[in-house]
Amino acid sequence: MSETPARQGRATRDVHTMTIRFTKGQGKRDTLAIIRDDGTSTWSALTPGFATHDFMHYALETALGCKDAFLGLVGRGLAIESFGEVDPATRQKPQLPAEAIYAETTVQTLWQYWMAGDWPEAGALSDLLEIAWQQFGMPAPERITTEQLSHVREIFMGLVSRWERVLPGETLEVTFAL
């Protein structure tokens, strides 16, 4: 994982768009690179099959207009690897905005459904997310609508379809508006 120039810690920059590049590994792991419009970047090698998890982030955060979730935070300066870092003094991960927690919970739930060959109804998904948020001790977010969920699925499946046609060593590139 790398960042150019070194930027870690809190997201502070005001960036309007960023380019997201998924490169299919050729004898090595796939990579995710994010290039901000100010020229700085961050990247990470992905575990096998994990590109689709990040496709789901793109789809959800685009469809719902999330600005304080994974992609928005990275776009404003957070390094990709900072999401997994644990503070050695407190042994805890940094506090993330509620929208980032909501997005990650939703992405993880949708991704698991998709990997199982299924897709939830909006009401069932919202019910599951409400239970998850109760476990976090947080108020439930606004329920996702059928239209929103359909838009997420359309974007996600489009990326999956494009990725299936990408050859090893080639790149799938999208732009994310912040």
What φ, ψ does residue 116 adopt, rounded to 5°? -85, 0
Whether the pLDDT of residue 33 is over 60: the answer is yes
Encode pLDDT of 129-148 as tens digits: 999 888 878 888 889 999 99
Stated pTM of the model: 0.87
Q: In what order do the strands lie in the sheet with 17-23?
A: 2-4, 41-45, 31-36, 17-23, 171-177
- The rounded distance, in Å, linking the Cα atoms of 154 and 158 is 6
In 3D space, the residue among 96, 39, 41, 102 whose CA is nearest the CA of residue 73 turns out to be 96
pLDDT tens for residues 89-132?
877 777 889 899 899 999 999 999 999 999 999 999 999 999 98
Q: Is the pLDDT of residue 44 over 60?
A: yes
